[in-house]
Structure 1
């Protein structure tokens, strides 16, 4: 039973990482299967009284962050009677997803997946999205690629998979040459997909992720051969990004020029552009927060008040096309007030603190690499969430929960399997 649980967890984690942005139903199907199998594993552990539960205080804090976020969101649904639907009516049960993630975490902490499935899943996922992006852009002639989904979560998740591949390259110097080659190609694929998606928010976040990677590389520098290797890594990374950005037909220059033009138009009173509508949503959001900071407006009520203001002519009509305010921070605060904001900070802050703590603690290279991945995931989603409501997007929320839970269970499993690893 234990061997079967470990194999199923490893296979599902690999499939989730590989297919999240590639297969349209992966964001829901794989977590549901994982939750069902997790129930069976937990039931086995309860029945088998000789089994020792491997949950500690850190796990308790992690689980509490997940469950508090879900409880506050469900409480908002209860008081308003309205469920979030997400883009294309795909996210009806979004508030319950953190509960499923907590269930999977409890099961995977007993029998964690194997780390190799994480690294190959990240690499395959980044390679696949890079291939899809290249096919859509150069073969189908699409200016912004997205694999049939919103280009923003597509580009953000692709960028994150590329950054996680770089984490493996940086922190696993003793890995076999074919795995290091896979990391290099995967990093290029993830970055290429981000560039071709035209997702400007991800480009703003990437320098922060790159800085974290360079700090990690500095910490492992003795194994790579000194300062020259670090300079070489920076030079190669800059060269690859410049080459991608300057390729003919790539939307980078056009998207940046468009952003500057949108700002100028907004300053002149025209809020109808892509960036102008987003700025209008943030302005409306902060006014909503000012009026009801305590408990917020709630699901459905926020949209009703926003649309009423649009009819009065206070905001551009374009903001009514969306079911969110294009910012996790603004949307959550306006919708669920101070409790929602605190639950969001816990959902970000608790995992970030735990992963950073384990990265600073040191240990073998596998544990440090996994801890670094956890830091990159949280920091990446914090940055993405400043300009897009990633946690109200079905792939965004599923991706965040799946990535942090999978990475955490692998990290804790590694710590417990290494002598003196805590």
Structure 2
């Protein structure tokens, strides 16, 4: 959130560190990847889809980055998960500090930009939508971490976490990101399931409505956000009359339509990622897309549509599995009876992470860069490991790590 440099290097450092942990630390009783064979098979679909697409196009598309992106997703999640499974579950709570720090860095960044320009903050690390979405997710994780105790000073720790979450949410509002709000009700439902599971159905439903009302009130209090919502509605009406208008909503509709047409033309293997997508988009200049869109966009502003267009139906299935295969694991751990709260916290975080990316990706290419794919894979691996004892040890660690 502070720089666009170094993300790939850190990912490979994480892989090397994970391999070292696998070589040096003892395996848990049920194996490093015990119970995750189905997940591994689901993740492998993405790799198979990319290979099939490249083979169908005789490996001439030059989309090696697409293969690396899929490889990072699979290796990052499985190798890091296997390594983290060898650590003490109590130690796996502390990466949360990095998310809290990132929330403060991002909040200060967007606040300075917003105050300096008087308008929407445009960050260098991501576009405003991606930056705001990640900032919202960090705030949610910090809220859920109220179920973890990291220090001996529980009240002070809780207060710091609440202030951090408020700062992150404030930063998210400043980004004026409209699509991130689609995930807010989902995050609230997960939070209610985490904290109100013993309060009874009526209290849980009441807490959900109160949280939704508070979120709506905060959003409505931002005049800039209200104006962007109103602008979006106005732009949608204009798109019906002049579809090639270069406005935020019309550009998205143009890109989504172009990506869907690419998919329908080659539904089995797609057209190939990278240069083939750009060339195909430019070929629609003046017809399906405007000159500005044809010359300045090389993606579809949607993870599912871009994946379908570039790797076909198998790629689309692979992307859904990358979201929902781990999400299903987290959901089962969250709602299972008799699970210690610390493992349910990790499960709630993981479920929010997977569903958040799935929702964000509908209208934004969250997997635009390698580092975001790597970040998703490693973070999901961390939360799978942190919640693993919910299904095996029921809170009994297998030994301290060094």
What TM bracket, shorter-length normalisation?
Answer: 0.7 to 0.9
Cα distance per residue 1:279-330 (max 9 Å; x no partner): 011111222222211111112323322221225x233223322221111111
Q: How does 1:387-398 map to 2 (within 5 A)?
A: 387-398=363-374
Q: Structure 2: how far apart are the matches of 1:145 and 1:192?
A: 16
The answer for the alignment partner of 2:380 in structure 1 is 404
Q: TM-score, normalised by structure 2?
A: 0.85
Match of 1:179 among 157, 169, 172: 157
* 1:211 pairs with one of 172, 189, 194: 189
Q: Hey, what's the Cα distance between the residues in 2 that align with 1:259 and 1:367? A: 40
Q: Is the Cα–Cα contact under 8 Å of residues 84 and 94 in structure 1 kept in the other structure?
A: no
Q: Which one of 292, 311, 314 corresponds to residue 336 of structure 1?
A: 311
After the TM superposition, list the runs of 4 or more consecutive aligned residues in structure 1 that deviate by more than 6 angstroms: 226-230
1:1-400 matches, cutoff 5 A: 21-25=1-5, 27-44=7-24, 54-77=31-54, 79-84=58-63, 93-101=68-76, 102-111=78-87, 114-139=91-116, 141-169=118-146, 171-172=147-148, 176-221=154-199, 235=210, 238-239=213-214, 242-243=217-218, 245-247=220-222, 251-271=224-244, 272-299=246-273, 300-310=275-285, 313-320=287-294, 321-362=296-337, 363-400=339-376
- Judged with a 3 Å threshold, the aligned counterparts in structure 2 of structure 1 residues 84 and 198 are, in CA distance, closer, same or farther, namely farther
User: 1:419/1:413 Cα in 2 relative to 1: closer, same or farther (>3 Å)?
Assistant: closer
Change (3 A) 1:282 1:42: same
Question: TM-score normalised to the size of structure 1?
Answer: 0.81
How far off its partner does 1:405 sit? Answer: 0.9
Decide whether aligned partners of structure 1 residues 260 and 51 sit closer, same or farther in structure 2, where only a CA change above 3 A counts.
closer
CA distance, structure 2, for counterparts of residue 94 and residue 268 of structure 1: 38
Structure 2 CA distance for aligned equivalents of residues 183 and 51 of structure 1 = 32
Distance 1:396 1:240 in 2: 27
**Structure holding more helix per residue:** 1
- Alpha-carbon distance in 2 for matches of 1:379, 1:62: 16
Unaligned 5+ segments in structure 2 are none
Q: Secondary structure at the match of 2:321?
A: helix
Helix, strand or coil for the counterpart of 1:251?
helix
Distance 1:255 1:419, change over 3 A: closer
Change (3 A) 1:373 1:355: same
2:188/2:208 contact within 8 Å kept: no
Quote the residue 1:3 is aligned against: none
Report the count of equivalent residues.
388
| Deviates most, 336-345 or 58-67 | 58-67
Distance 2:371 2:216 in 1: 26
Alpha-carbon RMSD? 3.2
Comparing 124-133 and 236-245, the one that deviates more:
236-245
Stretch deviating more after TM superposition (334-343 or 139-148): 139-148
Deviation at 1:358, TM superposition (A): 0.9
